[in-house]
Amino acid sequence: MIDLPPPRLTTLDNGLRIVSERMPGLASSSLGVFVGAGARVEAGHEHGIAHLLEHMAFKGTRRRSARHIVEEIEAVGGDINAATSMEQTAYYARVLEDDLPLALDILADIVTASVFAPDDLAREKAVIRQEIAAVQDTPDDIVFESLQAAAFTNQPLGRSILGTDRSVAGFTRSDIEGFLRRHYVAGDVVIAAAGAIDHDALVADVTRHFASLPSGQAASLPQARFIGGTVLDRRDLEQVNIALALPSVGVEDDQVHAARIFATLLGGGMSSRLFQEVREKRGLCYNVSAFQWGYAGIGLLGVHAATAPEDVVDLVTVIREETARAAHECTREEIDRAKAQLRAGLIMSLENSSARADRLARQLLVFGELRDAATVISDLDAVTVDEVHASAQRIIEDGRLALSAIGPESALGGLEAVMPEKPRPQH
């Protein structure tokens, strides 16, 4: 385990949390403003607004133009970016130690003082339309968006983070400012930093730069319910991309480690059950992977692969059969190997300052507390073979299934025979 000073956490009077972790030997710092509001908090008429706000934050503030924002950070050799997920939005930068105050100033400026000028808004809507079009040209992007739609039909978790051409086109400056006021509140924001950090100086700078951030607490996330079904997208492609998912546990569930272990032994590497059975033994695909996605209150255990049109029915059949078999028959050796992969992945990520800052922030936003890596590893190692079997069997025996596929019409029609629900075409 990497031996580092423990993280330091300060909570300001308005509820804003500042957390940092010093990494001796580093000359750079990673810093982020993490907001506990992503696409999941959007009302139906707000589809895509969290992502649009993230884009618009870089388009100019009262003190800086869009060009000045990027020129200032790149003039010191740093980089700056942002990302929107289902449950969080993050604005982050990486710079040398002496330039941390500049990075914080810029991040605070774009989060608290963006102007959302009408001309900039019109141009950025066009940029997002291009982003949406790029997704529509990328089969593996489509198949994962469609999987969410099949799993969480007519719910925020089932909608694309990007929005649609129509929804994005309709947003006004007032809409964006309203979303910002409701969700960018001190009690649902974390400032996280890792690397060459002086915590006391960071707290002083954050206190000054974020004085205008309104107080308030996180809005409650809408409850999600797994629906299941099939979403098919008929395209003239060489391969069929498929993704399957079963309802699983949420990120805060006591069984999440067991579910992650099962997903890893199922499709977490070249030694995994699916890779060995589907690729090595049967030659049905080039790559196959399994995943455990955890959201607040719910999760998905899923598998993704791509194959030739004539092999898609066999592929789906083998995946379902091998997943069910693994839930009952996975061995201690497989479970120990999966634990080692997860343990090593966590420890390796601790060598990266950006990953550390991200981890600190998400722990506070999701759990409301910091959980050190040693505790997480101890909890992972404590999972028994019986617990993995029991967790996997509960997931498998639920009976509900979501499937998405994109490929030639002739191939997709054959999926009706191996799926419990009648396929529902994508429009």
CB atoms within 10 A of CB 358: 21
- Can you read off the two tokens belonging to residue 10? 């300060």
> For residues 410 and 389, what is the distance between their CA atoms, to the nearest angstrom?
37
> For residues 321 and 170, what is the distance between their CA atoms, to the nearest angstrom?
46
Instruction: Give strand ranges (E) for 235-367.
Output: 240-248, 288-295, 298-307
CB 15 within 8 A of CB 365: no
Catalytic residue among 21, 46, 54, 277: 54
HSE value, Cβ hemisphere, 13 Å, CA-based, for 167 = 19
Q: Answer yes or no: 42 catalytic.
A: no
> For residues 289 and 243, what is the distance between their CA atoms, to the nearest angstrom?
10
> For residues 32 and 92, what is the distance between their CA atoms, to the nearest angstrom?
4
For residue 30, the cross-strand partners are 94, 194
Question: Phi and psi dihedrals of 301, rounded to 5?
Answer: -105, 120
233: DSSP letter: E
Tell me which residues are annotated as active site: 54
